[in-house]
Amino acid sequence: MTAKAKNNDGILQVSIQDDMTIYTAQALKETLLSYCHHGTQELQLDLSAVAEIDSAGLQLLLLLKSEAQQRGFILRLLRHSEAVIEVLELLKLGMYFGDPIVIPANWKKS
């Protein structure tokens, strides 16, 4: 599991550099929950490098949304990959997270 973080005055930008599957979910969960602490005003997740996401990865996103609501910070999902868009659209969860989903012009939906 690889995630790169950058803190900018309470706004934590995290770029997930791996798949969000059952094989990486536990390590990713521990890493991402460590960023949900006092002082974090906003957690931004860059999902552009996520080539695969399964139910474990989706559960992790739902957990982070719940943590954000309970702890009073903003969770933003940014630069959704095609895999993430497909899962969110399939389950109609785009509005739940509330972030704009931009579909690239070169996206080859099958």
Phi, psi of 42 (to 5 degrees): -150, 135
Q: Which domains does the chain have, with CATH numbers?
A: 3-97 (3.30.750.24)
Tell me, yes or no, if the pTM score tops 0.95.
no
pLDDT category of residue 110 using cuts at 50, 70 and 90: low
In this predicted structure, the answer to whether residue 58 has a pLDDT above a threshold of 80 is yes
Q: Identify the CA nearest to 41 among candidates 68, 60, 19.
A: 68
CB-CB contact of 100 with 67 (8 Å): no
User: What is the C-alpha separation between 16 and 13, in angstroms, rounded?
Assistant: 10
Query: Tell me: the pLDDT tens digits for 10-55?
Result: 789 999 998 999 999 999 999 999 888 777 899 999 999 999 999 9
71: left (phi over 0), alpha (psi -120 to 50) or beta: alpha
pLDDT tens for 60-79 read: 999 999 999 999 999 999 99
